[in-house]
Structure 1
Amino acid sequence: MKSPSSSIRDILAANLKRERARRGLSLSKLSQLSKIGKATLSQLESATGNPTIETVFSLSRALEVPISDLMDAQYPSAVTVVRAAETEVLSGEGVDLRALNRIESGGVIMEVYDQQVRAGCEQHSLGHAGTEHTVVQSGTLVAEVDGRRVELGPGDYIAFDGWLPHSYAAPEGTVRSVLVLHYRSARSEHQEPPNPPH
């Protein structure tokens, strides 16, 4: 089995170079757009850096691409089985994400993640491409979206425009949830918030 950290580094390096070239961006311009230092970007492209959730989401926002375009979380098969022990973890200041699947259908891209918010931690995001959906599986999740704070328990669901600043916190213990990000494949500059469930 490959080391998770080296595999994530290698995949991100190749995809980041491809997406930067596709958009015709210099390292300096991407650094300006993503607010990530030029030296850090150079390390990421040479597979010597240590990517975090914050880094990958900032790159997704700056390049206006789905997270999976950078992390290559595709499992093409008639039957998809993803084993927890064999799935790489991308960590941030308060969250661990495991990419489970990428689904493309009808002009929409959907990414499915196993998300764990660590006990006593908080994960902040300035925003990123896509619409974000979270279903809490266990624990109490405190979500804040564009200044609005919501407490969610097992079975509760929240959806919002990923471009909005948001955060997740687990003040009472570890939270397990399923995170789904969906995008229009046209990669429009801004995506509308989801319709509320009926």
Structure 2
Amino acid sequence: MLAENLRRARAERGLSLSELSRRSKIGKATLSQLEAGAGNPTIETVFSLSRALEVPISDLLDNERPNGLTVVRAADVEVLSGAAVDLRPLRGIESGDAIVEVYDQQVRTDSRQDSLGHVGTEHTIVQAGRLGVRVDGREVELGPGDYVGFDGLLPHSYTALDGPVRSVLLLQYRADQRLHSAKAGPACLAETP
């Protein structure tokens, strides 16, 4: 699904592979492989593409919008892994002008997941363990039941402080940031510092 969605998003924005490579800091060869369906992207790659194309992550990974009763079995969901984090996409929820993606997030012991930033607002609720969160130079420590929220465009990182951390990650977007939105065109793709 990533290959099809990536090609479509790039075409809708009128971007060449070279321009997307420059904006995402991902090599042209890697982008070409991803568009051909031959790559296995990491969290870092998908978040970089989300940032460069200014679309929700779920728009790159899936098109299905489930209705009615939704059950997501852990064994049925492909895990998106990064340097320190494993994400399982659970559900995308649309309500009015807002979209919220729900992820099961696990941060591995003795590792840090860095992000240069991406579109949307990031919300994390710790379920188990102690999580170090750094956002734009500010650091906080969270325990079970604690919450943090911040602008996803800011550079940020997650660190498991003394063992693995289990948390719920919510990514919140505006509806006009959707890949399939009529409003999402070249004018929406402003460079962010």
TM-score using structure 1 length? 0.88
2:17 aligned partner, one-letter code: L
CA contact (8 A) 1:90 1:96 kept: yes
**Relative CO higher for 1 or 2, CA cutoff 8 Å, sep ≥ 6?**
2
Q: Given the alignment of the two structures, is residue 115 of structure 1 paired with residue 94 of structure 2, yes or no?
A: no
Q: Which structure 1 residue ranges, 5 or more long, are not aligned?
A: 1-10, 191-198
Aligned residues: 180
SS in 2 for 1:119: coil
Separation in structure 1 between the aligned mates of residue 66 and residue 125 of structure 2, nearest angstrom: 25
Matching residue within 155, 163, 166 for 1:176: 166
Q: Which structure 2 residue ranges, 5 or more long, are not aligned?
A: 178-187
Counterpart in 2 of 1:56?
Answer: 46
- Percent identical pairs in the alignment equals 69
Separation in structure 2 between the aligned mates of residue 39 and residue 128 of structure 1, nearest angstrom: 22
Q: Given the alignment of the two structures, is residue 29 of structure 1 paired with residue 11 of structure 2, yes or no?
A: no
Alpha-carbon offset, residue 144 of structure 1: 0.4
Counterpart in 2 of 1:18?
Answer: 8
Q: Given the alignment of the two structures, is residue 81 of structure 1 paired with residue 51 of structure 2, yes or no?
A: no
Counterpart in 1 of 2:119?
Answer: 129
Separation in structure 1 between the aligned mates of residue 111 and residue 42 of structure 2, nearest angstrom: 15
Counterpart in 2 of 1:196?
Answer: none
SS in 1 for 2:38: coil
CA contact (8 A) 2:51 2:117 kept: yes
Counterpart in 2 of 1:195?
Answer: none
Q: Given the alignment of the two structures, is residue 40 of structure 1 paired with residue 57 of structure 2, yes or no?
A: no
TM-score using structure 2 length? 0.90
SS in 2 for 1:142: strand
